[in-house]
Amino acid sequence: MSLQDILSKQVIQAVQTNFGKELPSVEFQATRKEFAGDITVVIFPMLRVVKGNPVQIGEIIGEYLVEHVEEVIGFNVIKGFLNVEISDSYYIQFFNKISTDLQYGYVSPKPEDKAVMVEYSSPNTNKPLHLGHIRNNLLGYSVSEILEASGKKVYKTQVINDRGIHICKSMVAWQHYGNNETPESTGVKGDKLVGNYYVKFDQEYKKEIQNLIAEGQTEEEAKKNAPILKDAQDMLLKWEAGDEEVVALWKKMNAWVYAGFDITYKNLGVDFDTLYYESETYLLGKEFITEGLKTGVFFKKEDGSVWCDLTDEGLDEKLVLRSDGTAVYMTQDIGTAIQRIKDFPDVGGMVYTVGNEQDYHFQVLFLILKKLGFEWADNLFHLSYGMVDLPSGKMKSREGTVVDADDLIKEMASTAGDISEELGKLDGYTESEKQDLYKVIGLGALKYYILKVDPKKRILFDPKESIDFQGNTGPFIQYTYARIQSILRKANMDSNVVLDSTEITLHEKERELIKQIQLFEEVIQNAADNHSPALIANYTYDLVKEFNSFYQNVSILGADTDTEKLLRIQLSMVVANIIKNAFSLLGIQVPERM
């Protein structure tokens, strides 16, 4: 039973005993630093039930707690806040319970619980992964890890957008201008090669528009009539009709892209349990749209296009099938969702990691799936996140102004190397050890900088600012972990001894550190409930700040007694383990030395 549970039960009893009133709940908050106490009971909400002076009410409850609760050794009341002081023995007993638990804070899944499927990455096969995809992948992977740590069974998945007009644009451009070049013949990574042709299509399309305008067409007419666009549209129809030549080219170019993606995912440190391809799931979507037409979920317009009327829900009419019978994104998303539940019947909900420009799309998708009668549609969540900007401005794939994911990962390692050399932190390292460490620091800096921000907020990403060995950064936390490992290597005693809670008087810094450690399990649950890795990241920074304050104020290896030394070594070990586990939930490695 947690401290809050113990106190909550006794505060309710104190109000019943002293005032004859039933208190529905008790509100707690952390005690402010300037007051004595470890946890604060907020009296003001009680005034709805208990009439009187909040200070007097606090005094009466405080006296009751000292008398009836073993863990409470004192209290003070400041206005409407009852600050409760907890015994050292309570904190030592808690610490003894968790000090050797390497999985402290994690909860095991219950066999009867439904699983959660988390979708992330979900790239188009017409371009390489870029900075926006990095935020997507880091968020989706981290949320998966956090949900699993909170006690959920999790499947990590992606749906690959491997069909549609954007794919055909790269294919047409390669046909027209590629001279049969391949990743092997050019030495260019497959996803980059295909992405170059997506940019080439846009360049040639714009030229053709200008030529048609010069011949007398309006801009709108020219945009529709540009020959290269018509070629791409014809190719899409041929692909949906199963044209052998088009399908063969599609398979060849997609294979180049998949090989490129695999390298990027490995470098980024993310993985998937299962993959879905829109080229397969859109057909199932079409089947359910046909069924939905019969049941009145959808309706057909005069031109043959199929729509869903969501005006009663405050939205508008949504296209689900074009007049020529070709699918739209909504078609394939309906099919993908249904296929996933068919494949994994234990899934009871899904998390979609997709940028906030798609908020409306997912609002519509979830409504349509509910209208189709799927119970699990009540447990769908759009993990909507803000865009990532660089100081140079917004990225555009078709104009080739994106920040390539592979290039950024390399740049981060290079920047980490430059800063580490400046600081002179790596004396005695071999060149190979240095390069490995630069990758760990650079990638850790990138991931932490992105994940410490609430997902909903837009980010201005500054690579150099992220690799700072001071402040709320990945390298600062990694450095603290490495410092603790250095302390533990120097310590020479059996650290598995159970501490006698009657022998120890805690130093204020030891107490504060244990209180911070206590929060970890609750933080994991909150991060899971809110789908927010930022809660884990910022908790870890707070823990590290608390440890550094402890480190600066008490001597660990030079403690006055063996008992004090043992406690401080054990505290250091537990903090290091939490840093390692918390960073693991963010997909970040921690180096043993720096």
**Residue 390 has what pLDDT?**
74
**DSSP letter assigned to residue 396:** -
User: Quick one: tokens of 349?
Assistant: 């909900």
Q: Could you tell me the end-to-end alpha-carbon distance of the chain, in angstroms, rounded to an integer? A: 39
In DSSP terms, which residues pair with 393 in a beta bridge? 390
Cα angle vertex 280, ends 278, 282, to 5°? 60
**Residue 572 has what pLDDT?**
97
With the CA atoms of 125, 127, 132 and 133 taken in that order, what torsion angle do they form, in degrees rounded to the nearest 10?
A: 40
Tens-place pLDDT, residues 264-321: 999 999 999 999 998 888 888 899 999 999 999 999 999 999 999 999 999 999 999 9
User: Which of 428, 473, 384 lies closest to 120 in space, CA to CA?
Assistant: 384
Separation CA 458–CA 450 (nearest Å): 10
What SS3 class is residue 299? strand
CB 128, CB 195: distance < 8 Å: yes
- How, if at all, do strands 115-119 and 347-355 pair? parallel
With the CA atoms of 387, 390, 396 and 400 taken in that order, what torsion angle do they form, in degrees rounded to the nearest 10?
A: -150
CATH topology (fold) of 428-585: Isoleucyl-tRNA Synthetase; Domain 1 (1.10.730)
**Cα torsion angle, 400, 405, 409, 412, sign:** positive
Separation CA 236–CA 483 (nearest Å): 58
**Residue 401 has what pLDDT?**
53
**Residue 475 has what pLDDT?**
94
Separation CA 141–CA 340 (nearest Å): 18
CB-count burial class (<10 Å; 0-12, 13-18, 19+) for 571: buried
**Cα torsion angle, 91, 94, 99, 105, sign:** negative
Separation CA 246–CA 252 (nearest Å): 10
Contacts from 318-322 at CB under 8 Å and sequence distance 24+? 318/364, 318/368, 320/285, 320/289, 320/368, 321/286, 321/289
Q: Which stretches within 115-182 are classed as H helix?
A: 131-149, 165-177
Query: Residue 161: what are its φ and ψ, rounded to 5°?
Result: -80, 80
**Residue 461 has what pLDDT?**
85
**CB neighbour burial string for 466-505, b if at least 16 within 10 angstroms, e if fewer:** bbbbeebbbbbbbbbbbbbbebbeebeeeeeeebebeebe
Sorted by sequence, the CB contacts under 8 Å of residue 447 that are 6+ apart come out as 138, 474, 586, 587, 588
Same fold, 3-86 and 120-389: no
User: Quick one: tokens of 367?
Assistant: 């409504």
Tens-place pLDDT, residues 221-264: 999 999 999 999 999 999 989 999 999 999 999 999 999 999 99
Q: How many residues does the chain have?
A: 594
User: Which of 549, 512, 506 lies closest to 31 in space, CA to CA?
Assistant: 512
Residues of the chain with pLDDT under 70: 392-402, 425, 501
Query: Residue 591: what are its φ and ψ, rounded to 5°?
Result: -80, 145
CB 348, CB 114: distance < 8 Å: yes
Cα angle vertex 268, ends 266, 270, to 5°? 70
CB-count burial class (<10 Å; 0-12, 13-18, 19+) for 434: middle
**Residue 398 has what pLDDT?**
46
**157 to 137, 202, 270, 387: CA distances (angstroms):** 11, 31, 11, 21
Separation CA 214–CA 218 (nearest Å): 9
**Residue 132 has what pLDDT?**
86
CB 416, CB 485: distance < 8 Å: no
Cα angle vertex 556, ends 555, 557, to 5°? 105
**Residue 46 has what pLDDT?**
96
Q: Does domain 120-389 have CATH number 3.40.50.300?
A: no
**Residue 395 has what pLDDT?**
42
In DSSP terms, which residues pair with 39 in a beta bridge? 84
The domain covering 3-86 belongs, at the CATH homologous superfamily level, to: Arginyl tRNA synthetase N-terminal domain (3.30.1360.70)
CB 229, CB 205: distance < 8 Å: yes
Sheet holding 154-160, edge to edge: 274-277, 154-160, 115-119, 347-355, 380-385
Map out the domains of the chain as residue ranges.
Answer: 3-86, 120-389, 428-585
Query: Residue 327: what are its φ and ψ, rounded to 5°?
Result: -80, 155
**Residue 392 has what pLDDT?**
64
